[in-house]
Structures are given as structure tokens and as C-alpha cells.
Amino acid sequence: MSDPVLRVQDLAVQFVSQTGNLLQRRERILRAVDGISFDLEPGETLGIVGESGSGKSTLARAILGLIKPCRGRVLWRGEDLTKLEREALREKRKDIQIVFQDPVASLNPRMTAGAIIAEPLWTFYPQMERLQVEERARGMMKLVGLLPNQINRYPHEFSGGQCQRIGIARSLVLNPRLLICDEPVSALDVSIQAQIINLLRDLQKKLGLALIFIAHDLSVVRHISDRVMVMYMGRSMELSEKHALYRKPLHPYTSALMKSVPVPDPELARKLRQELWLKDDTPSPFDPPRGCVFHTRCPYVVRRCKVDVPPLRRLESGDWAACHRAEELDLTV
């Protein structure tokens, strides 16, 4: 096995909220990301899944250095990005790019498609000739399935799926080695979602990219990921090889997410609805439960779950789970 291109070690991000009046101010700490660790191999796709507010997007921004972590390390090819000065970190961003969730809001409406795609080139290579930049932008449009003669059109003249293709082209114009996709298909129709996922798979093979694909739906990441990490309240609940996870999840939260995925079989859908027990709201992130953060919603909870925080540990299968009862539970869906 080759050395990982990205290694995240015990990464944590906290936000401080001020409450009370002018005379009595009180600080509350929100642990958005709490001790996340994983490795990413060259050419691998890691899917990251969880409900809204689980810390997925915050983790992505911490990896990019857009948010400063309070603890942990982000090693890119052995170099700790969290220790770099601003200019040095900016230079590393040529290798690590991001595709945002909203394909329309992430594009400047005053700029043409060509100018949007070419903007990173002007930022990092201001000495490039204008014709070179335009040629590169046209080539990127063709690569992502857009017509090069659309280069002078504005974002409002494109559909949502086409706008996301523009965003992907912009993120790839610098030839990065890692692409972080932050829920890139959640704002698109189902048929368009499949097109964008297939595009990303093709680009990964063609360009040799490593991918981090973030979603809140396990059915979406199934078709693109090699491994899947499930997050809940800023923590990693499970990290498994894709086929193993869908065959037999190791954590009750993963099992609940799988049962919430819509299925075309009415009888199976009815059965899953009857078994679906993930009904309570997520606890306040400012006041997380003691012990396992998931124990207030878990039907398999025992006394130890309410007291001891389960570490993310490697099981005999080689997969990882943060559950005291991972070996004894049969969560086959």
C-alpha cells in the first residue's frame, strides 16, 4: 500500500458563542469537529456521511485551512498544513480544491463562465498570456461536458447541473491532486445527481484524483466511494470499506441512516419504516450527552454507553467503529 496523500490526526474545531447580557456574559463552546482521524490513499474516494450539523462541512474547511482547528494535524504528503504561514498554505491550495454545495450561489453572477474557470489561473499564474488562459478554460469546459462556445455566457444562462460543471472545471483548472466535494449534488434533481457523480468518477480515473465526497445520504456516496466515514455530532461513528458497510453496518447510527434511505419496494419500505427508530432530534451541540453522544437515540444503549466515551477502534474485520457493543450487535440491513 502506498503512503497516504492526506492524513488527518485527532482534528478538532470549536466555536465559542457568547450568551447573556452586558453585565453577565457567558461563553458556550460548540465542538463542531471532535477528534477526527483518517488516511486518504492516492486515487481513493472517501465518502463522509451524516445528518445536517454533524460537522462534515466544518471538517472539509478545516482540512483546507479555511477554519483554524484548535487541535490535531492535517498532513498533506507528510507536511502539516496547520503549521504553515498564510502564503505557504495558499500555495498548497493549488493541490487541494473544493466543489461547493450550491452550484449557483458559488459562482459570481457578474462573471462569465470562462472568467470564473480562469480566475484561479490569474491568481496563481498572473504571468500567463491571455490566449493561454482562454485556451485552458475552453479545454476545461470540454472536459466537464460543456460546450467551449458557451465560454462567454453568464451563470444565469446555465442550468443548475451546468453551473456545477462550471464549479468543477474551476476547481480542476490548477490540476489539483485532491478534490473535496461538499455535498455537490444535494441541490440538484435526482437524474442530474447521477450525471454529476458519473462525471466525478470519470474525472477521477482520468486525472488520478483523490476525492473526499461529503453527503447526508448513504445512497449517494455508495456509487462513488471506496470507504465511508459516518459522522455524528462532530465525531466519527464508523469508518468502513464500502461493501462491508452496506452489507453489515457496525454502528447503530449507520444502521439507522441506511434504513432511512428510500427504496422502490413498497413492502420493504413499509418494513423499514416500522423498524426506523431514529425519531428524536439531535441533542444540542452546546450540551452533548455524556459518554457516547448517540446513546440518547440508540435502542441498544446500556449503562456503559451513558458513562464511557467509546473510542474509534479497529475491529478484527479491519474496519473501525466507535461503539462499545460493535462485536455483539447484528445490524445487518
| Residue-wise pLDDT tens digits, 41-98 | 999 999 999 998 999 999 999 999 999 999 999 999 999 999 999 999 999 999 999 9
Split at pLDDT 50, 70, 90, the class of 213 is: very high
- Residue 31 near residue 234, CB atoms below 8 Å: yes
User: In the chain, what are the domain boundaries?
Assistant: 6-95+176-321
Question: pTM (2 decimals)?
Answer: 0.92
Query: What pLDDT does 321 receive?
Result: 97
Fold of 6-95+176-321: Rossmann fold (3.40.50)
Residue predicted with more confidence, 207 or 299:
207
| Residue-wise pLDDT tens digits, 146-168 | 999 999 999 999 999 999 999 99
Split at pLDDT 50, 70, 90, the class of 271 is: low
Q: Is the pLDDT of residue 19 over 80?
A: no
Split at pLDDT 50, 70, 90, the class of 252 is: very high
Query: What pLDDT does 22 receive?
Result: 67
